[in-house]
Structure 1
Amino acid sequence: MRRCLVVAILTLFALAGAQASEPEHRVLFIGNSLTYVNDLPNAFASLAPDGTRMDVDMIASPGASLADAMRNPLVTKALTEGGYTDVILQERGGDAFCPAACRQEGFSTLPAMRSAREASRMARAAGARVFYLGTWQSSRETNEALEFGERAIASASGAAYVEIAEPRRKLMQTHPELAWTHADGQHPGYATTAMMALRLWRAMFGVTPTTVPCVAGEVHYHAPKPEGVLHIDLSRKPRTCLVPSDAVRKLAVDP
């Protein structure tokens, strides 16, 4: 009897130890160059407080739409079998654009709707929360059409929408000294990547980060692993911080 009791206690300790070593959050980013330029997943992971158990992965290829992603068996396997607790979807820039004609036709001319809904359905069926991370255009008018489409897609997909376009445009006006656009004139600059990381963290965990988003290792411009799953090594010390510390709250909350 005593022997059985000892075995039972040891088994409980082993199970508790295994559970303690498992990550509390498994996060998957699915996107494209807007996601991997400046290492958004890496910057996001750097916001985790000490002691946080977290895994962060990314599947992203140059110029990829969510429709492209859903044709990739690697993506569908990750969504259904990866054990992720949180999935972030980011569409190719402009694909969610929904001008007046699109709205009048009930989104039937918005191809991005179908792929986002399918990705979200798979993720939620596997027990994950889904977040639809916005993109941006250059003017208030184009941002309005883009955000209309993004909100509609997020709502139809059962995903939480993380708005970027209009807050970014307004912050660019009030803080022009920050690096909003990459030197190529198209991709996110450090400030835009930091803003996405901060607002996404706030949406996912309900708290406003106070830490500067930083990147460990090389800051990527080209896709670091276009044919596979990139795993962010959280043990590496952050090396490149994307914005000054006094910009963090502005990027996370304003306007």
Structure 2
Amino acid sequence: MPRFLSTALASITMLATIFVPSMLAGCKSAPTAPGFPEGTVRVLFIGNSLTYTNDLPGMFAAVAQQAGRTDVRAAGVAFADFALEDHWAEGTALSSLAKNRWEYVVMQQGSSALAASQSNLRTWSLQFDSKIRAAGATPVMYMVWPTVDRTFDFPAVRESYTNAAFAIDGLFAPAGDAWVAYGNLNALYAADGLHPTTAGTYLAAIVLLERLTGIRVELLPATIPGSAIAPNDVRALQRAARTALDRNPARPRAVPQ
């Protein structure tokens, strides 16, 4: 079932709501930014279940709050099994770009490791780039991960998302490469072998957070909002994020080797 996800961080409390569009009423509303005051960092996530599982936008905003950044706001448009071309056809993400002011727009689809999928990711990233730039925002390519039975595809996933970021002169957020750096993939994949655990979502969130706000991952608390994961394990996740961020430039200039 498709989902529309919207999150907002209030000054003290992070508010996260998942909406299921009413298909009977034919009613879908684009994410708006009520309560998002001037001077905030506004981030729109466009993706699929890899974004809405564990509420990545909400985690992103909550970790920013942990670091004392109450100026960070995040919202998302995420539908199950959607690629960027599906978002283009469905229209909610485009409506939000037209109606709201975002500073960053984070995009992801599936692993996009195969040659045809890499081409598809580049093509539709370029399509969205024109709308994102027209709205005054910066595009961000959020590298995800392959299914657990295709972990050999990690290098191709990295290449695909890096090339898409290069094609649009956008930012590259190497979340999937941080998974590789962490090493213990069993702790990051949920039982279905595709979606992230809370630890996997946290790792993606902190990679994105440093890349977009400059909040250094190693300076974050050794806790995950709403989770009892041990501090030592949280520090290991932060070290993996540091490794991935250090070996992947924010704006790729060449195909990764």
Could you say whether these structures have the same fold, taking a TM-score greater than 0.5 normalized by the shorter chain as the test? yes
**CA distance 1:213–1:150, shift in 2 (3 Å):** farther
Contact 1:30 1:59 in 2 (8 A): yes
Structure 1 stretch 203-212 or stretch 31-40: which is displaced more?
Answer: 203-212
Determine which of 98, 113, 136 is the counterpart of 1:97. Answer: 113
AA at the equivalent of 1:162:
A
TM-score norm. by structure 2 comes to: 0.69
Contact 1:44 1:213 in 2 (8 A): no
Q: How does 1:19-98 map to 2 (within 5 A)?
A: 21-48=37-64, 49-50=67-68, 52-91=70-109, 93-94=110-111, 96-98=112-114
Which string of whole-angstrom CA distances, capped at 9 and with x for unpartnered residues, describes residues 194-227 of structure 1? Answer: 111000011112231313574xxxxxxxxxxxxx
Contact 2:154 2:176 in 1 (8 A): yes
Which residue number corresponds to residue 187 of structure 2?
179
Q: Secondary structure at the match of 2:87?
A: helix
Q: Secondary structure at the match of 1:83?
A: coil
Which residue number corresponds to residue 253 of structure 1?
242
**5+ unaligned residues in a row in structure 2: which ranges?**
1-35, 245-257
Which string of whole-angstrom CA distances, capped at 9 and with x for unpartnered residues, describes residues 162-183 of structure 1? Answer: 12333312312xx46x721112
Determine which of 131, 141, 161 is the counterpart of 1:132. Answer: 141
Q: Secondary structure at the match of 2:156?
A: helix
Distance 2:230 2:75 in 1: 23
Structure 1 residue 120, shift from structure 2 partner:
1.9
TM-score norm. by structure 1 comes to: 0.70
**CA distance 1:65–1:21, shift in 2 (3 Å):** closer
Structure 1 residue 159, shift from structure 2 partner:
1.4
Give the length in aligned residue pairs. 201
Contact 1:90 1:135 in 2 (8 A): yes
Which string of whole-angstrom CA distances, capped at 9 and with x for unpartnered residues, describes residues 94-140 of structure 1? Answer: 3x2245xx6xxxx9x72222211111221122111111000112566
Contact 1:98 1:148 in 2 (8 A): no
Contact 2:132 2:139 in 1 (8 A): yes
AA at the equivalent of 1:165:
G
Which residue number corresponds to residue 190 of structure 1?
198
**5+ unaligned residues in a row in structure 1: which ranges?**
1-19, 215-237
The share of aligned pairs that are identical, in percent, is 25
- Return the structure number with greater relative CO, CA threshold 8 A, min gap 6: 1
Contact 1:131 1:159 in 2 (8 A): yes
Instruction: Give the CA RMSD over aligned residues.
Output: 2.6
Distance 1:170 1:53 in 2: 30
Q: Secondary structure at the match of 1:46?
A: helix
Q: How does 1:200-219 map to 2 (within 5 A)?
A: 200-209=208-217, 210-211=220-221, 214=224
